[in-house]
Amino acid sequence: MKRIAIDMDEVMADANLRFREWYERDYARRLTAEEMHGKHYKDMVLPEHRELTMKYPYVEGFFQDMPVIEGSPEVILELSKKYEIFITTAAMQFPTSFVHKYEWLKNHFPFIPTTHFVFCGEKGIILADYLIDDHVRNFKRFTGQGILFTSPHNVHETWTPRVNNWQEVAALLL
Amino acid sequence: MKRIAIDMDEVMADANLRFREWYERDYARRLTAEEMHGKHYKDMVLPEHRELTMKYPYVEGFFQDMPVIEGSPEVILELSKKYEIFITTAAMQFPTSFVHKYEWLKNHFPFIPTTHFVFCGEKGIILADYLIDDHVRNFKRFTGQGILFTSPHNVHETWTPRVNNWQEVAALLL
C-alpha cells in the first residue's frame, strides 16, 4: 500500500480564513482575494498592522476550531481506502498549537488513527510516496513526490504537479 | 551525513524512575531492580495497584521534568557532530505530554533544533539510517537499522544490536 503524507495548515485546515477573520476583528479590514493573491501574510496587511498580525500563529487559539478546507474530509476518506495516510504538520514552530491540532484532527478526520498524526518540523524525516503540502521548501529534502497544494502565498511558485483543490487531488491519486 | 532517530522515553528520559517515584508516593512501596527486571509496569506493581498506576502516563505532569538518562546529553552531543539527529517520540498516546516533552527537549538538549523534534505514533513513517528505541515493535516497519536500548521491560527480547547504556551507543556509532 502506497503512503501519502498530508500537510495540515492551508491544505486541510483553512489558516488563511482564520488569519483573515482575526485581521478583520482587530483592524476592521476584510482582505480581498486580490489582496491575498501571491502574498505571504506579512505582505497582505498594511505595514503598521504587521507587528501584531505576525504573532497570530503563536497566539493560543489560532489553530483551534480552524475551518476545514472544502472537499478534504471526503477526498481523504476515499484516499484512505487505497493508501496509508499520515498527517504531517509543522507544529514545532507553534508549541501552543499541539493540543488544538490534535483535537482538530480527531474531530474532523476521525477515520485517521492518532498513530498516523506526525507533528514535526523538517519534513525530510518523512518516509512516504507522496507529500501534499503548500510549501515547496518542504519538498527539498523529501524523497518521495511532492504535490503542491495551491495557497495564495505559493501561486507564483513553479512546481509540478500542482493541485488547486481537493477535487484535483482526487483526479490525480484516485 | 547519516541520520539517527532517537526515541525519548526510557532512552533519553527516565520514565521508569518517574514511574517508581510516583508509585512510592502513592503506595509507600519502592520497586527494586529485581521487581522491575523483565517486566512492563502493569506486572511490576501489586494487582490492586494496577488500576491507578496504569493511568500515570496519561496524567498531566508525568512527562514534566523527567530525569535524564545518564550519558545521553554528552553522547548525543558528540553524535550530533557526525550524524543528523532527530528525536522521534510516541507522543500521540499521551496528548497531555506534548508541551512537557517539547520543553524538556529544549531544556536538556538545547543543541538539537526544534525542527528535529518529531511527535508521532507509528515509526514506520520515519526515514533514518538508525533508530535507537526501547521497543522492538517500533522496528517492525522501520526501514533503517533498529538499535534496541535496554529497559527492564525488554530484557527478554531478542534483538541485535542491543545497547545497555549510552556508553555502548558511543562505542557502536562514534
CATH number for B80:
3.40.50.1000
> Is residue A166 a contact partner of residue A75, using CB atoms and an 8 Å limit?
yes
Minimal Cβ distance to B127: which of A98, A119, A127 = A127
- Same domain membership, residue A113 and residue A71: yes
Selected for mutation to probe chain B from A87, A115, A137 (highest B CB count within 10 Å) is A115
Q: Does B93 touch chain A (CB under 8 A)?
A: yes
- Same domain membership, residue B8 and residue B51: no
- Provide ipTM, 2 decimals: 0.92
The pLDDT tens digits for A39-64 are 999 999 999 999 999 999 888 889 88
Domain span holding position A8: 3-14+66-173
Task: Verify whether residue B7 is a known catalytic residue.
Answer: yes
The pLDDT tens digits for B55-81 are 998 888 898 889 999 999 999 999 999
- Same domain membership, residue B116 and residue B35: no
- What one-letter code names the amino acid at B73? P
Domain count, chain B: 2
- Same domain membership, residue A134 and residue A102: yes
Do B125 and A126 count as a contact with CB atoms less than 8 A apart? Answer: yes
> Is residue A125 a contact partner of residue B128, using CB atoms and an 8 Å limit?
yes
Closest CA to A120 of A140, A90, A142: A90
| Preceding omega of A161 cis (within 30 degrees of 0) | yes
- Same domain membership, residue B114 and residue B30: no
Percent of the residues in chain B that have a pLDDT greater than 90, as a whole number = 90
> Is residue B85 a contact partner of residue B55, using CB atoms and an 8 Å limit?
no
- Same domain membership, residue A155 and residue A73: yes
Percent of the residues in chain B that have a pLDDT greater than 70, as a whole number = 100
- Same domain membership, residue B117 and residue B80: yes
- Same domain membership, residue B101 and residue B40: no
Q: Calculate mean pLDDT across residues B31-37.
A: 92
pLDDT at B93 over 90: no
- Same domain membership, residue B74 and residue B144: yes
Residues 6+ apart with CB under 8 A from B137: none
- Same domain membership, residue B166 and residue B131: yes
The pLDDT tens digits for A90-115 are 888 888 889 999 999 999 999 999 99
